[in-house]
């Protein structure tokens, strides 16, 4: 005989699964592969967003953010346990370690940067929808080519 509490717990879990609710079956890893880092000085900052608000530079509203020492060539960061959904990534190579994007008088970055989908825009940062990708499996690999 199945106890009533277990049955409620089981059915609640099944309902959440059916509508894509939180749970281990609906989470996965996103690996961000950053290519073309020119030098090993400074830090690589990666911001992961699940909505347009704050994209691409507000770490306070990003889902997760990481800062790692820079190294020449390729840098790989894994974001584990992310719920399935739509995300966008912004990357900066912070050469001087001041944790912000340094720009020239025209507002053009003087440090390396990149976005998921290798989204680019001539006179502005890409919008969230331009850099967005679907995370809907156990593992996703996002490749970003740095722009200097």
For the domain that residue 110 is a member of, what is the CATH number?
Answer: 2.60.40
Q: How many domains does the chain have?
A: 1
Distances, alpha carbon 7 to alpha carbons 3, 12, 45, 87, 118, in Å:
6, 8, 46, 35, 47
- Evaluate whether residue 83 is within a structural domain: yes
Structural domain boundaries, residue 56: 27-145
The predicted structure's pLDDT at residue 2: 53
The answer on pLDDT for 122 being more than 80 is yes
The answer on pLDDT for 103 being more than 70 is yes
- Evaluate whether residue 21 is within a structural domain: no
**Sorting pLDDT into bands at 50, 70 and 90, what band is 24?**
low
């Amino acid at each position: 005989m199945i106890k009533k509490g277990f049955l409620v717990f089981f059915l609640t879990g099944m309902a959440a699964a059916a509508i894509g609710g939180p749970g281990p079956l609906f989470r996965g890893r996103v690996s961000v592969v950053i290519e073309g880092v020119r030098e090993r000085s400074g830090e690589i900052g990666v911001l992961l967003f699940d909505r347009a608000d704050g994209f691409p530079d507000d770490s306070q509203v990003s889902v997760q953010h990481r800062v790692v020492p820079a190294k020449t060539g390729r840098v790989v960061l894994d974001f584990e346990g992310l719920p399935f959904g739509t995300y966008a990534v912004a990357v900066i190579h912070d050469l001087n370690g001041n944790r912000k994007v340094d720009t020239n008088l025209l507002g053009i970055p003087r440090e390396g940067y990149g976005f998921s989908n290798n989204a680019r825009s001539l006179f502005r940062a890409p919008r969230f929808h331009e850099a967005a990708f679907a995370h809907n499996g156990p593992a996703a690999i996002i490749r970003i080519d740095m722009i200097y």
